[in-house]
Amino acid sequence: MYLRAVELRDWRSYRHARFNFPKPENGKNVVLVMAPNEHGKTSFFEAVTLGLFGREGLPLIPRARASVGSGDATERLNVSYSQFLANALHRRAIEAGRQSCSVTLEMEDDDGDVLEISRKWHFKADGTHKLYDDDLQIFEGVGRVPVRAPATTEDKDAWYREFIAQRFIPSSLAEFFLFDGEQVQRYAGRDMADQVRRGIEGLLGLPVLKSLRESLTRYAQHARSSAASPSDQTVKAVEADIANLELALAQNRQKREAAAALLPQLQAESEQLSQQLGGRGEGTIAMVAELHKDEVRYRAEAERAIEGLKDLLAGDIAIALAGNDLRQATVDRLMSEAARERWEAGRNEGNANLDRYQADLSQRLAEVRPELEDSQSSGVIEAATAAWEALWYPPPADCAQDYLHSALMGTARLQAIERLEAIRRRSASELVEKVERFHSAVSTAEAKKRERLEIEQTAPEAEKLSARLKEVSEEVGKLINQRDEADRAITALEGQMAAKRQELGRHMDRIGRGAPALRRAQAADQYAKVLGMLLHDAVPAEVSAVAAEMTRAWKSMAHLTERVERIEITEDCEVRMLNAQGEDLHQIEKSAGASQVFTQALIVAITNVSGRAFPFVVDTPLARLSRDQRLGVLRTFTDRPGQVILLSTDEEVVGEKLEAIRDRVCAAYSLSVEPDNGVAVTTVQPMTV
């Protein structure tokens, strides 16, 4: 199969261009398209790629992938299809009234049948790509019979994709036929085994299976998380909690029942013991001590009563026995003697002033005028003296005539009177009272003693009962606590149990609701696993063929290859460079150029093993290669029966490199750019080489 013509309309810098390529034959299979950078070589490359595959070809376009990456078609796209195409429409097209661009590829297969594939992209007036308006037309044969999906086909895109893959090339293999030199550089930077594996995967179309495996894995994760159902561990944990709660409930109920069973008997015993002890219970010894103290106190009181009685008898009893009449007569006498003492005191105090009174009166009488006679003055003084003495005489009626008790004068007399009065006030009841007090105290002391002796006799038994009562009381207390604690625990546990059962119910509901999603996730995981095994097992089947082709390609491209007899690839895609003795010469020279040569040899090997006779379209093939390497690569690339289209800068395939392949060149074109009011327009001219 070869590319017979490429026609571009309003594609990037191409307003309109048609490339016609001759059929490769007679050893002439190389088409050269030469131009400096920015003249449209890469746009041509992209046109061929997207023209063939449409959106599926975007991963094959280096400019559409992440800016730094592995260089292969499995990298993430950094633009969408429409974003990439936003710059595809020629800049003058819209203002010229044209809102579409197209690429037409004419292929001729080995039987001479022509297949034409034409894609047209439509844009809005502002240059935005209209995604769903893309046109794909395929024509077959000289008569250009349209190729259409059968009317019953549900998925027409899939039908056309399949058609293109069968009649042209699968997109997964396309990166080995359509590539640029810089892409090769990036690819070459990777580990050799990795390159070989990816190359073989591409050969077999496995990238789709890898991508599918990743999609299924992500899908399964999403399905599981969206099911939001609890894990088995979560459910088991809740069930375990419920089991533990049930056990705890049973244990607490048992404790409560055990306490409830024992309490009545113990409480009855406690009641009985209390009655037996009569409230004495504890403190019997203290009671005995208390009774003893009381006894002592009452005996002391009895003593005091006796002492008082004795004092009474020893003190005033004689006077009391004298009788009331004598005591009263004595008091009266003492009172009259007290009156006399007062009369005498007054008289004596008056008599002490009589002389002074007489003298003063005498003097006053001497001053009376007419002067009195001595007899008159004397008579006056005698009369005054008599009047004076009449003040005191006769003494008061209650005065005694003399003193019988002259020893009791003044205060002593008064005290004697008070004592006699006090004795008079005392009655027989005082005596009786003291006697009665004595008897009462003694009686009470005796009663305390008897009570004490009685208790002391029963104390050992009471102590036993008291100790037992204490035990029983403590036991009752413990059982009541046990019962109450168990009750509280049961209440709390029942609450927790209800909550856990609700939680389990919610989990089971969610499991039920999430079941479909989980089933899908499980199925996705199973298919992802099968794909993994397929990916692992598919590669080894191709390694021998690839290794053989790589040996041929590499030996023709690289220099200093004499030592290497062959390249061997293990089932794990490890590359071994073996000499004639089968010894592994280890890795090849690590220069950038040598790595690229290895990569390009791999590309050639893959394309040869694929058996596809599809054209090579290579953009800038010789970047970063040494002179010898360039020659080797050029020769190897072009040394194939199929068509090779080289998009070369004006410095690459020139001079000796051109000479090396000149006899294989069947056509050559140059691209030039002419400005059209600031817009670059590429034109194509045939050239002679």
Residues within the interface to another protein (CB under 8 A) = 53-59, 77, 79-81, 83, 155, 157-159, 161-162, 165-166, 170-173, 203-206, 208-209, 211-212, 215-216, 219, 222, 516, 519-520, 523-524, 526-527, 529-530, 533-534, 537-538, 541, 610
Place of tokens 């026995």: 321
| Closest approach of another protein to the CB of residue 525, in Å | 11
Spatial neighbors of 475 by CB under 8 A, at least 6 apart, are 262, 266
How many angstroms separate the CA atoms of 480 and 474, rounded?
10
Report the residue number, 161 or 333, with the smaller CB distance to another protein.
161
Rounded distance between C-alpha atoms, residue 538 and residue 332, angstroms:
158
Of residues 170 and 181, the one with the C-beta less far from another protein: 170
Helix (H, G, I), strand (E, B) or coil at 613: coil
d(CA 224, CA 216): 12
Q: Are 168 and 115 in contact (CB under 8 A)?
A: yes
Residue (68 or 387) nearer to another protein, CB: 68
Q: How many CB atoms lie within 10 A of CB 519?
A: 12
39 vs 213 by CB, closer to another protein: 213
**DSSP conformation letters of 64-85:** GB-SSS-SSTTSPBSS-HHHHH
C-alpha span between 45 and 61 (Å, rounded): 9
The two structure tokens encoding residue 193: 């085994």
Closest distance of CB 522 from another protein, Å? 9
**Min dist. Cβ of residue 519 to another protein (A):** 7
Please provide the distance, in angstroms rounded to a whole number, between the alpha carbons at the two ends of the chain.
24
Q: For another protein, which is the closer residue by CB, 209 or 625?
A: 209
Question: How far is 88 from 75, CA to CA, in rounded Å?
Answer: 22
Cβ of residue 541: shortest distance to another protein, in angstroms? 6
The string of DSSP codes covering 268-301 is HHHHHHHHHHTT--TTHHHHHHHHHHHHHHHHHH
* Residue 106 Cα distances to 119, 218, 281, 534, angstroms: 12, 40, 123, 36
Q: How far is the CB of 203 from another protein (least distance, A)?
A: 7
Q: What's the length of the chain?
A: 689
For another protein, the closer CB: 75 or 503: 75
Closest CA to 186 of 43, 78, 74, 48: 74
Residues 207 and 172 sit within 8 Å (Cβ to Cβ): yes
Q: How far is the CB of 27 from another protein (least distance, A)?
A: 29
Type of residue at 56: E
In the complex, the smallest distance separating the C-beta of residue 531 from another protein, rounded to whole angstroms, is 8
Buried-state track 394-413, b at ≥16 Cβ within 10 A, e below 16: eeeeebbeebeeeebeeeeb
Nearer to another protein, 314 or 533 (CB): 533
CB of 134 to another protein, least distance (A): 11
Least Cβ distance, residue 526 to another protein (angstroms)? 6
CB-nearer residue toward another protein: 472 or 609: 609
Min dist CB 149 to another protein, Å, is 11
CB-side exposure of 107: number of CA atoms within 13 Å? 25
Beta carbon nearer to another protein, 210 or 552 = 210
Question: What does the longest C-alpha to C-alpha distance in the chain come to?
Answer: 218
User: 40 or 57, CB closer to another protein?
Assistant: 57
